[in-house]
């Protein structure tokens, strides 16, 4: 476990997740606020789409709560994690190590689950609200490349979202965000479109 703490609502959210029923048909979206920010079942028109995003969460937090995810033996898990780790200056090596453990545990604890690792989205520093997250463009690119290599090694699915959300300056396109980090409704609609082939 890391020593950086958890989001203030972490325990409450995990307790809620444990309270909800599991189904082997579940398609789980696992991540931080970017994942937490939409109603996946409505966005995708899928009754079995399940939101397991917690705002502010990190790869360490997901490792801590992964039992709740794997115990239901879901059909698919879509993972998007890492930007909050980078904002806390956790190294790419540690983030990759945590990703590797997450994948290994899912494969061991729920072997029939299909795993989809999504690349980190770009950020846009013209906004002023999330300054610790913004100046991470090179880290994000390097981490995404290493995630691709990791998914090849682990034989899990890789979805490269990052280039689809870039503007001509290599930043998160302002048509998809209003704070440089999180997505607007337009951003989520686009993300859903990109995910359709994998659902």
Question: 75-106, pLDDT tens digit by residue?
Answer: 999 999 999 999 999 999 999 999 999 999 99
User: What is the SS3 string spanning the chain?
Assistant: CCCCCCCCCHHHHHHHHHHCCCCCCCEEEEECHHHHCCCHHHHCCCCCEEEEECCCCCHHHHHHHHHHHHCCCCCEEEEECCHHHHHCCCCHHHHHHHHHHHHHHHHHHCCCCEEEEECCCCCCCCCCCCHHHHCCHHHHHHHHHHHHHHHHHHCCEEECCHHHHECCCCCECCCCCCCCCCCCHHHHHHHHHHHHHHC
pLDDT for position 1: 46
- What structural domains does the chain harbor? 20-198 (3.40.50.1110)
Question: Given CA atoms 18, 44, 107, 62 in this order, what sign does their dihedral have?
Answer: negative
Beta-carbon neighbour count of residue 47 at 10 Å? 12
Query: pTM above 0.75?
Result: yes
Backbone dihedral angles phi then psi of residue 53, each to the nearest 5 degrees:
-95, 140
Q: What mean pLDDT, rounded, does the chain reach? A: 93
pLDDT for position 130: 79
Residue 4 has pLDDT above 70, yes or no: no
Residue 3 has pLDDT above 60, yes or no: no
Buried/exposed code over 102-140 (b: 16+ C-beta within 10 A; e: otherwise): bbebbbeebeebebbbbbbbbbbbebeebeebbebbebb
More confident: 3 or 75: 75
Give the lowest-confidence range in 8-12, 51-55, 182-186: 8-12
- Average pLDDT estimate for 60-80: 96
Cα Rg, the chain, nearest whole Å: 16
pLDDT for position 32: 96
Question: 143-168, pLDDT tens digit by residue?
Answer: 999 999 999 999 999 999 999 999 99
Contact 33, 58 (CB under 8 A): no
Which among 74, 44, 12, 16 is positioned nearest to 192, based on CA atoms? 44
Give the lowest-confidence range in 13-22, 49-58, 123-132: 123-132
Contact 163, 157 (CB under 8 A): no
pLDDT for position 126: 86
pLDDT for position 2: 53
Q: Residue 1 has which token pair?
A: 């476990």
């Amino acid at each position: 476990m890391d020593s950086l703490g958890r989001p203030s609502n972490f325990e409450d959210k995990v307790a809620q997740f444990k309270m909800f029923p599991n189904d082997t048909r579940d398609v789980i979206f696992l991540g931080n606020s970017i994942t937490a920010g939409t109603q996946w079942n409505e966005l995708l028109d899928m009754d079995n789409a399940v939101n397991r995003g917690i705002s502010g969460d990190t790869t360490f937090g997901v490792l801590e709560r992964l039992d709740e995810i794997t115990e239901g033996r879901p059909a698919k898990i879509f993972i998007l994690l890492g930007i909050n780790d980078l904002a806390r200056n956790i190294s790419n090596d540690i983030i990759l190590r945590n990703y590797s453990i997450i994948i290994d545990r899912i494969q061991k604890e729920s072997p029939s689950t299909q795993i989809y690792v999504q690349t980190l989205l770009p950020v846009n520093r013209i906004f002023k609200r999330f300054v610790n997250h913004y100046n991470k463009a090179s880290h994000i690119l390097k981490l995404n490349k290493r995630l691709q290599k990791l998914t090849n090694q682990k034989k899990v699915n890789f979805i490269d979202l990052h280039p689809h959300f870039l503007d001509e300056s290599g930043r998160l396109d302002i048509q998809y965000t209003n704070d440089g980090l999180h997505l607007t409704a337009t951003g989520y609609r686009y993300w859903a479109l990109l995910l359709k082939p994998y659902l």
